[in-house]
C-alpha cells in the first residue's frame, strides 16, 4: 500500500462532521493525526466535546483534539445551526464521554507544530466547518501554513445558491473574511461545495446497511443521522440526507474522486444579502485560484461511505 496520508480534520461537529470523522478513521489511506475544533454548527465548547466523543465511539481517543476559534474573525454570526444538528450538535444523541482530555495547545499551535514536524507538502488539512482556524494559521504561523500539502474544504457554492441564505453556504457564511483569506492565500485548496454535495444523497437504504452491519459505531451513526433525515424529508422532501462533510473527506482520502476546475473564487464579505456568497469566476484563471469541484459520481461516493461505515462491524 502507498504511504498513508497524514491528515488533520478541522471541524464543527455537527452530524455530517461526525460521519466524516468516522469515515476517515475507517480509511487505511489516511492517518488521522489531529482534530482541530472550530465554532460553527454549535458553540466551540460543544464542537470540541463532540469531537472527543466521536473519537471515543470509534475507539480512537489516541487522536488529539485541540480547541480553536470560538467565533469568526470579524463579525459575529447571526445564528448557528442547532435547528439542523440539534442543540448539542449530534442530532440529540448523547454519546459517552471520552476519557481523553483536550490537547492543551490552542488549535493553531497544535496544527503548526504538526506541520513543522512533517515533511513539507505531505499533510492534508480537511476543514469541514468555517475557515477561522485556517485563516488564523495563515496569519500567526505562515511558515507552517506554507508546508500544507493540500486543503480539502467542504464549503461554498458555485452554481447551487446557498443553504443558510439564498446566496451563501453555511461554512462560507459563518466566517466570510476567513474564507476570503484562505481561498485567496495561494494555498492548494480544493473547494467541495454544494454543487457536488447536494446531488450526493445518502438514502435510508444506505443508512440501514451500516445500522445493521456496522456494529455499535454503525448503529450510533444511524441514530445521530435520524434528526438530519427527518429535517431533510420535512424541508426538502428528499428520502435521505446530504452528508456534505463526508464527501469532502472522500476527496481527501481518495484524491481525484471529484472532477475539479481551477477557478478564482471571490467571497462576499459585505454585511448585506450576499454575505458569504462564493462567486466562482468562470473566466480563465491567470494565476492562483482554487480547484472547484464541479462533477461527482454520487452513487460511487455514497457506496464508498456506506461500505466504510459498514466495516466497523467486521
Q: Which is nearer to Ca ion, 115 or 128 (CB)?
A: 128
The number of beta carbons lying within 10 Å of the beta carbon of residue 189 is 27
From the CB of 240, what's the least distance to ligand RIB, in Å? 15
Q: Give yes or no for residue 129 binding Ca ion (CB under 5 A).
A: yes
Instruction: Please state, in angstroms and rounded to a whole number, the distance separating the CA atoms of residues 241 and 116.
Output: 38
Q: At what angle do helices 215-236 and 15-25 cross, to 10 degrees?
A: 150
Residue of 41, 200, 227, 250 interacting with ligand RIB (CB under 6 A): 41
Residue of 14, 240, 268, 276 interacting with Ca ion (CB under 5 A): 14
From the CB of 82, what's the least distance to Ca ion, in Å? 13
- Distances in Å between the alpha carbon of 212 and those of 14, 96, 205, 300, 307? 23, 21, 11, 20, 12
Instruction: Please state, in angstroms and rounded to a whole number, the distance separating the CA atoms of residues 312 and 309.
Output: 6
Nearest Cα neighbor of 33 from 49, 21, 45, 43 is 21
Q: Give yes or no for residue 245 binding ligand RIB (CB under 6 A).
A: yes
Binding mask of the shown chain, residues 52 to 81, with x at each position contacting ligand RIB by CB under 6 A:
-----------------------------x
Instruction: Please state, in angstroms and rounded to a whole number, the distance separating the CA atoms of residues 291 and 306.
Output: 26
Q: How long, in residues, is the chain? A: 314
Binding mask of the shown chain, residues 235 to 274, with x at each position contacting Ca ion by CB under 5 A:
----------x-----------------------------
Q: Give yes or no for residue 171 binding ligand RIB (CB under 6 A).
A: yes
Q: Which is nearer to ligand RIB, 245 or 264 (CB)?
A: 245
Instruction: Please state, in angstroms and rounded to a whole number, the distance separating the CA atoms of residues 183 and 218.
Output: 35
Is beta strand 259-267 parallel, antiparallel or unpaired with respect to 123-127? Answer: unpaired
Q: Give yes or no for residue 251 binding ligand RIB (CB under 6 A).
A: no
The number of beta carbons lying within 10 Å of the beta carbon of residue 148 is 24
Instruction: Please state, in angstroms and rounded to a whole number, the distance separating the CA atoms of residues 76 and 96.
Output: 31
From the CB of 91, what's the least distance to Ca ion, in Å? 13
56 is catalytic: no
Residue of 56, 83, 139, 244 marked active site: 244
Provide the annotated active-site residues: 244
Q: Which residues bind Ca ion (CB under 5 A)?
A: 12, 14, 17, 128-129, 245
Q: Which residues bind ligand RIB (CB under 6 A)?
A: 12, 14, 16-17, 40-41, 81, 128-129, 154, 163, 169-171, 244-245
Amino acid at each position: 500500500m502507498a504511504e498513508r496520508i497524514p491528515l488533520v480534520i478541522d471541524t464543527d461537529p455537527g452530524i455530517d462532521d461526525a460521519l466524516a470523522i468516522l469515515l476517515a478513521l475507517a480509511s487505511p489511506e489516511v492517518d488521522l493525526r489531529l482534530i482541530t475544533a472550530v465554532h460553527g454548527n454549535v458553540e466551540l465548547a460543544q464542537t470540541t466535546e463532540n469531537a472527543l466523543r466521536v473519537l471515543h465511539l470509534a475507539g480512537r481517543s489516541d487522536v488529539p483534539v485541540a480547541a480553536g476559534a470560538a467565533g469568526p474573525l470579524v463579525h459575529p454570526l447571526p445564528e448557528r445551526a442547532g435547528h439542523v444538528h440539534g442543540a448539542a450538535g449530534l442530532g440529540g444523541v448523547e454519546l459517552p464521554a471520552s476519557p481523553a482530555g483536550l490537547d492543551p495547545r490552542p488549535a493553531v499551535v497544535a496544527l503548526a507544530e504538526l506541520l513543522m514536524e512533517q515533511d513539507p507538502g505531505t499533510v492534508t488539512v480537511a476543514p469541514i466547518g468555517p475557515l477561522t482556524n485556517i485563516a488564523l494559521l495563515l496569519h500567526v504561523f505562515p511558515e507552517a501554513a506554507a508546508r500544507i500539502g493540500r486543503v480539502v474544504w467542504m464549503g461554498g457554492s458555485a452554481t447551487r445558491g446557498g443553504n443558510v441564505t439564498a446566496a451563501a453556504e453555511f461554512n462560507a457564511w459563518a466566517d466570510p473574511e476567513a474564507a476570503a483569506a484562505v481561498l485567496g492565500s495561494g494555498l492548494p485548496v480544493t473547494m467541495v461545495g454544494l454543487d457536488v454535495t447536494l446531488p450526493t444523497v445518502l438514502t435510508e437504504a444506505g443508512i440501514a446497511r451500516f445500522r445493521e452491519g456496522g456494529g455499535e459505531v454503525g448503529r450510533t451513526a444511524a441514530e445521530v443521522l435520524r434528526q438530519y433525515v427527518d429535517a431533510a424529508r420535512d424541508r426538502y422532501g428528499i428520502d435521505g440526507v446530504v452528508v456534505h462533510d463526508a464527501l469532502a473527506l472522500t476527496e481527501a482520502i481518495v484524491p481525484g474522486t471529484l472532477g475539479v476546475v481551477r477557478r478564482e473564487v471571490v467571497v462576499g464579505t459585505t454585511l448585506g444579502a450576499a454575505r458569504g456568497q462564493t462567486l466562482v469566476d468562470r473566466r480563465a484563471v491567470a494565476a492562483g485560484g482554487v480547484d472547484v469541484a464541479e462533477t461527482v459520481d454520487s452513487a460511487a461516493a455514497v457506496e464508498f461511505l456506506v461500505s466504510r461505515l459498514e466495516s466497523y462491524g467486521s
